[in-house]
Amino acid sequence: MSKEEKKVNRRDFLFTASYTIGAVGIGAVVWPLVHQMNPDKAQQALATTEVDISQVEPGNSITVLWRGKPVFLKRRTPDEIAEARAVNLSDLPDPQKDEDRVKEGKDEWLVMLGVCTHLGCVPLKDKGDYKGWFCPCHGSHYDLSGRIRKGPAPKNMEIPKFEFVDNNTIKIG
Amino acid sequence: MSDQDYTPKSKAGKWFNDRLPLLTLGAHLTDYPTPKNLNYWWTFGGILTFCLLTQIITGIVLAMHYVAHADLAFASVEHIMRDVNYGWLIRYIHSNGASMFFLAVYIHIFRSLFYGSYKSPREVIWIIGLLIYLLMMAAAFMGYVLPWGQMSFWGATVITNLFSAIPLVGDSITTWLWGAYSVDNPTLNRFFSLHYLIPFLILGLVVLHIWALHVPGNNNPVGIDIKKPSKDTVPFHPYITIKDTFALLMFMIIFAGFVFFSPNVLGHSDNYIPANPLVTPAHIVPEWYLLPFYAILRSVPDKLGGVILMFGAIFILFVLPWLDTSKVRSAVFRPIYRQFYWIFVLDVLMLGYMGAMPAEGIYLVLARVGTIYYFAHFIIVMPVVGLLEKTDPIPMSISEPVLTGGADPAIARKDNEKI
Amino acid sequence: MKRSNIKSLLFIATLLLASTAKLYSAGGETEPLKVDWSFKGITGKFDRASLQRGFQVYKEVCSSCHSMQYLSYRNLGESGGPEFSEQEVKAIAASVEISDGPDDQGEMFTRPGRPADKFKNPYPNVKASIAANGGAYPPDMSVLVKARPGGSNYIYSVLMGYEDPPEGVTLDDGVYYNKYMIGNKIKMSSPLSDDIVEYSDGTQATVDQMAKDVTTFLTWAAEPELEERHRTGVKVIIYLILLTTLVYLSMKKIWSRVDTEV
């Protein structure tokens, strides 16, 4: 390589190195500015809600607020459980067994996010063609296990993390 | 702007540029002929632009989490510091960034004072710059109120109370500013709104500032008029862009030193005490960059007099281009003015120090001396020295001193001899 | 170097020095005692064990009067702080009763604390706090170290600074003399005495030890981001020096094309 060419190569390397290192810096600066909009530590400190279910009769349900969204807690009668379990999985747009949506030994208790999986409206209870819930926004029907049966919603209503603190109390989250 | 001979390389570029000549603007800025002898005092304009953008970006992000209510403001700042991802970093960048912004603007202003950048034909650039400075002080003052600490509250009380000194309408104006009968929640709310607004006004003025600059072009250390382009100039990119980048990086090292290792040294510990309308701090002081004006304000025993002098200290700068009678621009060739310039610098530093001290005893005496000298510098020194000073011979061009080894009297302009 | 360059550099140096000088002097009082804190300096870190002991002092001695309302129990387990284990944090939180509600009957109730809860205030509001403390408000300690000139040294000094008043100084009831307190008078009696706390790690609880531990804890409480801030700062400055060097060399290369230098 001639001396001129050598000079040019060194110069190019220097400029390329400067730009590259500079770009790394700009990336490092951009990240905190983006990440600050993610849920902060207080939000993340998993806010949990405890619900007293001692007053709920079989066949009834209550709604509580958790993380800003409604949660349906329905206490099903044995007939309702049987009906939910008699459904053919191939009839379901989002196949899922009722047994997998409840806690073992506590089959009467259906705990799910009362948010339609289509576009987020709150479905109405005891309505619709499947004795479950009906979402008035775009006509999605859910059954006694909160599963989507008919309508534009793609998935069953979501089951959040929950546990029985004792027979009268459920902790969500 | 006379670079209409630029044609974009791509067809898409040409299509767009025909409709909105942004690419022509880009070429103008890139090729802009800049004096090749600019020293590092000229890098602070670029640094200031960086500071403004930093404050705007960090400010907008902080505003996503800050709550402008008297009961919640202090807590919302603590929430930012403790819970928001990187909140402590963004907050400290914003608070220290304000100090760095003023450090840079004072260096930038003092550059202009030394090299005569305010003189014809750059008077409008100078005036726009002063308007930017005034808006900076307003924005900084209101920004400091937002955390709602003791200094926030009492600093706001002291400064807004000044308006009551205005005869006849003073009290009404002060009540109108407050939105209440003292500094209170309505005041905080409107300060937040205006604090968010002002930086964008500054941004607009900065555009005008640079536009006005591009008419005559940059001043330079020897203060002589140059033709652009010429052998005395270099294209802005890459020569000035790389130099500005280097200077900015040095500036950022100092900035980072404060943010990461001493983020509260420029502030006042009292502002970590939540605002209490019933307890006044022992010493109310503004942030360091407002101290010289605070000293001037307190040096006059009369309330209205202090207010007039404090504002006068800034307004006198507006007429500086007409107070300075010298035909020579740069202090490099003005040996007498140069001495007075450094005395003026010391005077401002001394006033700043006095602003931090209690307004009594020797501190008050020195503040008064400093105030009198401050005005004397503009009203007496500038006109008189300009007329009487025997200036040094100035070179014919920028390149010449290099080639001939210094300002040679033989090549000096004859019309520069003065007694 | 040219004379004007030297002058300019001196100017900048003065500005920077002045900025770090103590412009806002409290005036009058004795200079606080100086401790060689582990968290000072650019690589400063908190002594984990000291933080845990300091929390014990806060909990057993101070928290009956002083709130720390901006801290949550979960902070005690986060990195950069005392770093109690998850179980320890749950236990600390559960040891206090937190007011919650209203329930479905509209009544407020109490329940054991959880990590997500903020530290419990000893009093329902500021006025109750003042009334219960002889007319003086025990300040909230969340940012107390940042709220006093002298910071950690000052807090430590006040805790160590109780002594008999000098000749000619009389004190009202409920007022005590303190060598380092601003104004020398304080309405809190000396809160620490030897062995007032039995440290769970077995360290001897002398007044000096407790003062150091609780000050360390309070410093963390005011600046929980300190260690991350120092770590990031070192990385940032090294990066900037690297980039500055590259840019400087680039600048020299570019400007070598011009016959410059005035």
CB of B341 closer than 8 Å to CB of B331: yes
List pLDDT tens digits, range B235-292.
999 999 999 999 999 999 999 999 999 999 999 999 999 999 999 998 899 999 999 9
- Cross-chain residue pair B83–A35, CB shorter than 8 Å: no
All partners of chain A with 3 or more CB pairs under 8 angstroms: B, C
**Looking at beta carbons, which residues of chain B come within 8 Å of A42?**
79, 83
Half-sphere exposure of B201 (CA within 13 A, CB side): 17
pLDDT exceeds 70 at position C43 = yes
Q: List the beta bridge partners of residue B274.
A: B149
Question: Chain A residues with CB-CB distance to C under 8 A?
Answer: 11, 14-15, 17-18, 21-22, 24-25, 28, 41-42, 45-48, 52
Is the Cα dihedral A47, A53, A54, A55 positive or negative?
Answer: positive
pLDDT at residue C25 in the model: 45
CB of A136 closer than 8 Å to CB of A124: yes
- Cross-chain residue pair C72–A45, CB shorter than 8 Å: yes
Q: Average pLDDT of chain C?
A: 90
Half-sphere exposure of A71 (CA within 13 A, CB side): 23
pTM of the complete model: 0.89
| Model confidence band, residue C18 (pLDDT cutoffs 50, 70, 90) | low
Chain B contacts in chain C segment 222-241 (CB below 8 A)? 222, 224-225, 229-230, 232-234, 236-237, 240-241
> Which H/E stretch holds residue B176?
helix B170-178
pLDDT at residue C45 in the model: 95
Omega within 30 of 0 (cis) for the link into C102: yes
**Dist CA B132 CA B207 (whole Å):** 11
**Dist CA B77 CA B84 (whole Å):** 10
Taking alpha carbons only, the member of B309, B340, B348 closest to residue B109 is B348
pLDDT exceeds 60 at position B31 = yes
List pLDDT tens digits, range C105-147.
899 999 999 899 999 999 999 999 999 998 999 999 999 999 9
Quick check: C244 contacting A, CB < 8 Å?
no
Q: Which residues of A106-138 are buried (b: 16+ CB within 10 A; e: fewer)?
A: ebebbbbbbbbbbeeebbebeebebebbbbeee
- Cross-chain residue pair C237–B260, CB shorter than 8 Å: yes
Quick check: A26 contacting B, CB < 8 Å?
no
pLDDT exceeds 90 at position B65 = yes
**Torsion angle in degrees (nearest 10) through CA of B258, B263, B266, B271:** 170
Q: Both tokens of residue A67? A: 């993380």
pLDDT at residue C179 in the model: 94
**Dist CA C133 CA C122 (whole Å):** 12
**Torsion angle in degrees (nearest 10) through CA of B355, B358, B362, B364:** 60
Taking alpha carbons only, the member of B44, B52, B114 closest to residue B324 is B114
- Cross-chain residue pair C240–B238, CB shorter than 8 Å: no
**Dist CA C59 CA C101 (whole Å):** 25
| Model confidence band, residue A109 (pLDDT cutoffs 50, 70, 90) | very high
Tell me, what's the ipTM?
Answer: 0.91
Q: Which active-site residues of A does the annotation give?
A: 138
pLDDT exceeds 70 at position C27 = no
- Cross-chain residue pair B88–C149, CB shorter than 8 Å: no
List pLDDT tens digits, range B290-304.
999 999 999 999 999
Collapsed DSSP state (helix, strand, coil) of residue B12: helix
Mean per-residue pLDDT, B26-34 = 95
**Dist CA C221 CA C70 (whole Å):** 9
| Model confidence band, residue A41 (pLDDT cutoffs 50, 70, 90) | confident
Quick check: C249 contacting A, CB < 8 Å?
yes
CB of B222 closer than 8 Å to CB of B399: no
pLDDT exceeds 60 at position B415 = no
List pLDDT tens digits, range C152-208.
999 999 999 999 999 988 899 899 999 999 889 999 999 999 999 999 999 999 999
| Model confidence band, residue B228 (pLDDT cutoffs 50, 70, 90) | confident
List pLDDT tens digits, range B124-171.
999 999 999 999 999 999 999 999 999 999 999 999 999 999 999 999
Cβ-based neighbour number of residue B168 at 10 Å: 7
DSSP, res A105: T
Separation in Å, CA of B78 to nearest CA in chain A: 12
**Dist CA C139 CA C68 (whole Å):** 9
DSSP C170-214: ---TT-EEBSSSTTSEESS-----TTSS--TT-----HHHHHHHH
Long-range contacts of B356-359, Cβ-Cβ distance < 8 Å, separation of 24 or more: B356/B285, B356/B288, B356/B291, B356/C23, B356/C24, B358/B283, B358/C27, B359/B298, B359/B299
Q: Is B413 left (phi over 0), alpha (psi -120 to 50) or beta?
A: beta
| Model confidence band, residue C1 (pLDDT cutoffs 50, 70, 90) | very low
Mean per-residue pLDDT, A15-43 = 92
pLDDT at residue C262 in the model: 44
Chain B contacts in chain C segment 109-168 (CB below 8 A)? 139, 142-144, 146-149, 151
Mean per-residue pLDDT, A87-114 = 94
Q: Which residues of B373-406 are buried (b: 16+ CB within 10 A; e: fewer)?
A: bbeebbeebbeebbeebebbbbbebbbbbbeeee
- Cross-chain residue pair C250–A42, CB shorter than 8 Å: no
Question: What is the number of H-type helices and E-type strands within chain B?
Answer: 17, 2
Q: Average pLDDT of chain A?
A: 90
Cβ-based neighbour number of residue A83 at 10 Å: 17
